[in-house]
Amino acid sequence: MKRILILSTAIIFLGASCNRNDDKSDAYGNFEATEIVISAKAMGELEQLDFEEGDLLDMGDIVGVIDTTDLVLNRRLLIQQKKTIGARLESINSEIEVAQQQLQNSLVNQQRIQNLYEKGAATKKQLDDINGLVDINRKQIIAVKSRKAAILDQMTGVDIQVEQIDDRIDKCLIKNPSNGTVLVKYAEKGELAIIGKPLYKLADLEEMKLKAYISGDQMPHIRIGQEVEVIIDENEKENRSIMGRVEWISSTAEFTPKTIQTKEERVNLVYAVKVAVKNDGSIKIGMPGEFNFMK
CA distance 187 to 276: 31
- Residues, the chain, total? 295
pLDDT (tens digit per residue) in 75-89: 999 999 999 998 888
Angle at CA of residue 60, ends 57 and 64, nearest 5°? 70
Helix (H), strand (E) counts: the chain: 4, 15
Average pLDDT over residues 193-211: 95
Q: How far is CA 28 from CA 1, 20, 208, 256, 261, in A?
A: 44, 15, 15, 11, 8
Average pLDDT over residues 224-248: 90
Nearby residues of 133 by Cβ (< 8 Å), 6 or more positions away: 106, 109, 110
Q: How far is CA 186 from CA 37, 183, 199, 226, 236, in A?
A: 10, 10, 5, 39, 35
Q: Residue 224 — very low, low, confident or very high, per pLDDT cuts 50/70/90?
A: very high
Residue type, 2: K
Q: Residue 162: which H helix or E strand, with range?
A: helix 124-171
Q: How far is CA 195 from CA 26, 46, 183, in A?
A: 46, 12, 21
pLDDT (tens digit per residue) in 104-150: 999 999 999 999 999 988 899 999 999 999 999 999 999 999 999 99
- pLDDT surpasses 60 at 208: yes
**Cut 0.85: pTM above it:** no
pLDDT (tens digit per residue) in 44-79: 999 999 999 999 999 999 999 999 999 999 999 999
Is 187 within 8 Å of 49 (Cβ atoms)?
yes
CA distance 36 to 148: 51
